[in-house]
Amino acid sequence: MNYTYILKCSDGSLYTGWTNHLEERVLAHNEGRGAKYTRSRRPVELVYYECSETKEEAMRREYAIKQMNRRQKLSLIAQQGETDYE
């Protein structure tokens, strides 16, 4: 399985990425082995993720999310939160 994810950084910024090992990737970000962007913004918190069948789908979705503005990303995160509790 492949995942597209959004992290909330300690400074309140949002980081979007993709991986095929979600838990390991979040741990890597928090240990400073993730993206350069998140190294100085730890700790990070996983606030959103989607599953994809292929790496290419996950990468396309990552690109699409990165094109969104902050308000759109927060709306996406809120929508997933609502479905988690229904």
The domain spanning residue 64 has which CATH number? 3.40.1440.10
Query: Would the pLDDT of 83 be above 60?
Result: no
For residues 3-28, average pLDDT? 98
* Phi-psi sector, 32: left (phi>0), alpha (psi -120 to 50), beta: left
Domain that holds residue 50: 2-84
Using CA atoms, how far apart are residues 71 and 69, in angstroms rounded to an integer?
Answer: 6
For residues 66-75, average pLDDT? 97
pLDDT tens string 21-64: 999 999 999 999 999 999 999 999 999 999 999 999 999 999 99
Amino acid at 46: L
Q: Considering its fold, how many domains does the chain have in total?
A: 1
Instruction: Find the helix or strand (DSSP H, E) in which 10 lies.
Output: none
Query: Would the pLDDT of 12 be above 80?
Result: yes
